[in-house]
Structure 1
C-alpha cells in the first residue's frame, strides 16, 4: 500500500531541467503530487517526512535490456543445468534483487515470461515493473540458435521453458506465426535476432540475419497488437534492414556507422547500447567458461562500443540504455551508466536510463522524470550522482527506493510532520 511522504530539502534531479537545490517533493496515492523549490513547503500534508539534506532525489532507474532468465553468465550451458522448478526460484531472486538496486522498471529482452510479471503485480515477489518478450525469434543458425555444429536435434528441444530460451523460425510466415504466439502468451513486445552475436556458437558479429521480409512480418504482428519490435542488431546492414522494416529499438549496435546512424535518427529509431555486458565478459568470460570463439567476438564488440556511442550521439540518435548483464553480474546494472557517462557525461547517462528509456517503452507520460501527477518511482541517493555517478552502483548509497509511491527500501528514519 502506498503512503504519503514528503521528501524535504533535497537536491532534485528531475531529468527535465537543471538540478535544483532545496527542493521538496510530496508523494501521495502512488503519485508525485507537488514539487516546490527553494525551501518552500508544499501545501499538502504527509504522513511521513524524509530529511534530504546532502542527498539527491531522482527518478527510479529503468533498464530496457535485461535477461531475468539468464541465471548464469555462460548462457550457452545453463539450459543443460537447471530444471524448471529451480530456474524459476533463481529468476525470482534476480527480480527481487533488481528492485533493490534502484531499478523500478525493466524490459526483459527474452527469457522471462508473463508469469514473472504477474508474480510482481500480484505481490507474490518484490520487484520492478516488468515488461516481457517471452521467447526471442531467431533464424536457424542465428543468434538464438544455441546448437553446436555437431548437434542435429531440434533447436533447444532438451530445454526447460524457463531460462534463456529462444524460438527458432524461418520465413515470413513462420516469423508471423511465432510472433503472434508470443503475443498470445502475454508478451509486451517482440524480440528478434537480426544479426550475429557474441555468445551464439555458429555466427559472426557481422552476420546479417532475418531478411527484410521476415523482419516486416514481425513488425506487422506487433503493430497489429498495438506494440513494437526490438531487434538484436550489431552489423550496419542488419540495423538498416531493421530501420526500414519499422523496428522501434536497435539493441547493441556496436558496429554502427554514420550512414546507418543518420537513418536511425531520421526514422526516430532508438539505440540501446549495452556496454556493461561486453566489459564484464571481457574481464571474466574466460573464468565462466565462455568459449574462445565467443571471447573473440566479445573483444571486438567491447572495443567498438565507445565509438558506436559517439557515432550515435553526433548523429542525433535517440540513445536509451540497457545493461544485458547475465548471471551474478546482473547485480551491477548501474555500471552501464558509468560506462555511458564516459561519452554522454553523467547527466546524459542518467537521462538515457530514465527519461529516454521511458519514452522508448511508451511510458513517458507515467515514469522517467520527477513531475507532478507521474508515478512516484524515486531514488533518494546519498551524495550527488552528477559528480560521482558510481554512487548509483553502491546499494548502501541508495537511501530510499520508492516504487508506485510505496517505500520498498529505506535506510533513513522518517518522522511525522
Structure 2
C-alpha cells in the first residue's frame, strides 16, 4: 500500500492541544503515524499550512438549498435531489468530511455518497423531524395550504405525530427508513410562521416514549429546542443534544451539565435568515422579525453555556445558511468565549464524540480514518478559514486540491 506523507506543516490533532510541527502518514484509508521526521512513498507539501482532521458539522439539511418560500413552492419535487448533490460537493469543499443531516436526506442520499455516486461527506441521517400538529415541522399556512420543507415520500415518512402511540409509531417508521438518529422539535422555531420558539412542544410522556424507542434500536435523539421549557423537557427525557438553544436559562444549563447533554448552537442560522431577507428572499415577515429578535439572546445564552462548561459541538443549520459556508460558524463560537483551540476541537473530536464516532473520526491519531484537511496559514485564525482550505482528503482519497 502507498504511504502518503503530509510534511512540513503544523498539526492540529483535534484534541484541543496547540498546533505543533509534525508529519502525518496515511495508508489504506487510515492514519498510521503522527510525529516528526516520518517518511512516505508520496509527499504532500504542507509548508506554511496547518494539517487538521476532517471537520464535522452536526446540523445540516443537504436537501434544502434556500429558505425562500416562493422558490420552494415553484421548485419541482425531484429537483431537490440534484441540488443535494451540489450541496454535498460544496460541503466537502469546505473541509467538512462528516455531517449529521437534521432532516430531509433519506437513505438513498446517504447510500449515493457511501457508494461514490455523489461526492460529499459521510452522513448520519434523521430522515424527517418529528413535530406536533401546529409545531415547527407542521407546514400548514394561514391560507389553509401547505409549503413543506420535507414532502413525504416512500423513503421519507411524515414526522407529524401527536400522543405517545403516534410518537412510538413515527419513531419506528424513521428507524425503518434508515434513520441513524431521531430528530424532534421540542419547541417552536424561527422560520415557521405560526408558532413561537419560546413555547414547548411534545409532552414529557411523549418525549420519554421517543427516547425509549430510539434507544431500543441503538439510536439517540437530537432536539430542535429554542425556548427554555422545551429545552428542559428534552434534557430531562435524556435527549442527547440540544440544537440552537436560543433561550437557555440557568436551570437549563445546570440540567445540561447534570445530564451531560450536548449543545449544537448554530449561531450563524438567524444571521443567515436576516441576510437572505435583506437580499430579497421571500420569507414571512413574522419569521424575519423572530430572527432579528433572537440574535443577541442567542449569543448571550451560548456564552453562558460555554462559561458554565456545557459540552459544545459545531453545527450550522446549513440550508438556512448557504452550503459550503459552514466554517463561518467558527468565529461566532470564538466570540462566545471559546478559544480557537476549543473551537477547532468542537469542530473535530467533540463533534465526533456527539455522533458516537470518536473512535473513527475527529482526531489525527494512528488507526483513525484518514480524513485530512490542509489549511493555508494558522488554522486558529478562524476568520476566512474556508478561503484558505487547500486540500481535503476523505478516507485517504484526495477529494479537493
TM-score, L = length of structure 1: 0.91
Counterpart residue number, 1:51:
45
- Tell me the alpha carbon deviations over residues 375-396 of structure 1, each in whole angstroms, 9 at most, x when there is no partner: 111101111121x2124221xx
Tell me the CA shift for residue 355 of structure 1: 1.1
Distance 1:186 1:158 in 2: 16
Distance 2:281 2:76 in 1: 20
Indicate which of 395, 398, 401 corresponds to 1:404.
395
Helix, strand or coil for the counterpart of 1:65? strand
Tell me the CA shift for residue 97 of structure 1: 1.6
Q: Is the 8 A contact 1:84 1:160 kept in 2?
A: no
Counterpart residue number, 2:265:
273
- Tell me the alpha carbon deviations over residues 90-120 of structure 1, each in whole angstroms, 9 at most, x when there is no partner: 1111112211111000000001111111001
Distance 2:145 2:79 in 1: 27
1:255/1:128 CA distance change after superposition, 3 Å? same
1:361/1:402 CA distance change after superposition, 3 Å? same
Helix, strand or coil for the counterpart of 2:348? helix
Distance 2:109 2:271 in 1: 28
1:212/1:327 CA distance change after superposition, 3 Å? closer
Distance 2:10 2:200 in 1: 47
1:327/1:401 CA distance change after superposition, 3 Å? same
Distance 1:215 1:242 in 2: 7
Indicate which of 38, 42, 50 corresponds to 1:41.
38
1:17/1:252 CA distance change after superposition, 3 Å? closer
Is structure 2 residue 361 aligned with structure 1 residue 373? no
Q: Give the 5 Å matches for 1:274-353.
A: 274-286=266-278, 287-326=280-319, 329-343=322-336, 344-353=338-347
Indicate which of 238, 242, 249 corresponds to 2:241.
249
Tell me the CA shift for residue 327 of structure 1: 6.0
Aligned residues: 399
Counterpart residue number, 2:25:
26
Distance 1:401 1:109 in 2: 24
Counterpart residue number, 1:415:
none
Q: RMSD across aligned C-alpha pairs, in angstroms?
A: 2.1
Distance 1:126 1:51 in 2: 24
Of stretches 348-357 and 186-195 in structure 1, the one that deviates more from structure 2 is: 348-357
Counterpart residue number, 2:223:
231
Is structure 2 residue 61 aligned with structure 1 residue 67? yes
Tell me the CA shift for residue 73 of structure 1: 2.2
Indicate which of 117, 123, 142 corresponds to 2:110.
117
Distance 1:365 1:60 in 2: 14
Of stretches 233-242 and 281-290 in structure 1, the one that deviates more from structure 2 is: 281-290
Counterpart residue number, 1:5:
4
Tell me the CA shift for residue 309 of structure 1: 1.1
Q: Is the 8 A contact 2:57 2:100 kept in 1?
A: yes
Distance 1:176 1:322 in 2: 27
Of stretches 59-68 and 300-309 in structure 1, the one that deviates more from structure 2 is: 300-309
Tell me the CA shift for residue 338 of structure 1: 1.5
Of stretches 103-112 and 81-90 in structure 1, the one that deviates more from structure 2 is: 81-90
Structure 1 residue runs of 5 or longer lacking an equivalent are 411-417
Q: Is the 8 A contact 2:157 2:173 kept in 1?
A: no
1:259/1:158 CA distance change after superposition, 3 Å? closer
Helix, strand or coil for the counterpart of 2:223? strand
Is structure 2 residue 189 aligned with structure 1 residue 190? no
1:144/1:54 CA distance change after superposition, 3 Å? same
Q: Is the 8 A contact 1:64 1:321 kept in 2?
A: yes
1:157/1:338 CA distance change after superposition, 3 Å? closer
1:77/1:23 CA distance change after superposition, 3 Å? same
Indicate which of 379, 387, 390 corresponds to 1:385.
379
Q: Is the 8 A contact 1:79 1:159 kept in 2?
A: no
1:20/1:249 CA distance change after superposition, 3 Å? closer
Q: Is the 8 A contact 1:385 1:391 kept in 2?
A: no
